[in-house]
Amino acid sequence: MNDSPVIVEHFDDGVTLITLNRPHKKNAMNSQAALDIQRAFEAFDRSEQRVAIFTGAGDDAFCAGADLNDKPEFWRCTPTVGFRTEKPVIAAVGGWCIGGGLVFAMMSDLVVASENAILQYPEAKLGFTGGIIASMAGRIPHKFAMEVMLLGRRFSAARAMQMGLINEVTPRGAHVDAALAIARELAQSAPLVLKTLKRWVVQDVVAQSPAERMARTQAQLATISESSDAKEGPAAFREKRAPTYQGK
């Protein structure tokens, strides 16, 4: 049994499967898992792999939101925010898809969901929000987006497909296999064309909420604050020497 909060599998056909492995918590996201997912997608982007799938272990939950005992920085594991890749990202959703889990699915390029998927963004009922969900209005029709965000109701995979939020509904437990089939089809396509089209859509077509832009800025600043150069500067000052920066 693999106890790692995130499992990464690379297939020879160019597909990478990244799995949130906290089924005992309905795949609720904690701080370590968010960081591991961010690192896994960054490694995927640097690799020769062509398509990534993100899913949750088992078929009871994709991601049930934040682990309230160890709250994550959800921006870290949000596509186009905490990590950026011009390669296709597919979300394979089974069971609970709540809060930040729904944000991940929304920000993915394609979504496959099993018929038992239950989706919800409940933050208006809970009295807080990270705000990135507002970008949904740039990805599905306005009235559907407002229904999801403001009412905070649970809705089914069939309803999500009607909204334009997902691409395919599968029988229970078949969502990962269906996502793998799509990923392998994409992996046979011209990667430069896929990258160019995705870049244009993300940068120039899809509207970004203020919270999404803020989170992207936060991610960029975190890259600096967590770098080796950020440690080198103060160390050189303390040691009364000229710093040697490596740009990483």
246 falls within a domain: no
Q: Which residue has 């993915």 as its token pair? A: 108
88 falls within a domain: yes
pLDDT digits (tens, 9 = 90+) for 110-144: 999 999 999 999 999 988 888 899 999 999 999 99
CB neighbours of residue 81 within 10 Å: 26
**For range 146-158, the mean pLDDT:** 97
The Cα 34–Cα 22 span in angstroms is 12
174 falls within a domain: yes
pLDDT digits (tens, 9 = 90+) for 82-116: 999 999 999 999 999 999 999 999 999 999 999 99
Q: pLDDT band for 1, please (50, 70, 90 cuts).
A: low
Length of the chain measured in residues: 248
- Domain of residue 211, CATH code: 3.90.226.10
pLDDT digits (tens, 9 = 90+) for 52-80: 999 999 999 999 999 999 999 999 999 99
φ, ψ of residue 106 to 5 degrees: the values are -60, -40
118 falls within a domain: yes
Residue closest to 222 by CA, chosen among 76, 42, 71, 85: 76
The count of domains in the chain is 1
Phi-psi domain of 143 (left: phi exceeds 0; alpha: psi -120 through 50; beta: other): alpha
| Lowest-confidence segment of 48-57, 84-93, 188-197, 217-226 by average pLDDT | 217-226
53 falls within a domain: yes
The Cα 183–Cα 53 span in angstroms is 8
154 falls within a domain: yes
Q: Write out the two tokens for 41.
A: 């997608």
φ, ψ of residue 29 to 5 degrees: the values are -85, 130
| Domain with 101 in it | 6-238
The pLDDT value recorded for residue 203 is: 76
Residue closest to 24 by CA, chosen among 51, 61, 49: 61
Angle, helix 228-238 to helix 210-225, in steps of 10 degrees = 50
Q: Considering the entire predicted model, what is its pTM?
A: 0.89
Q: Which residues of 108-132 are buried (b: 16+ CB within 10 A; e: fewer)?
A: bbbbbbbebbbbbbebeeeeeebeb
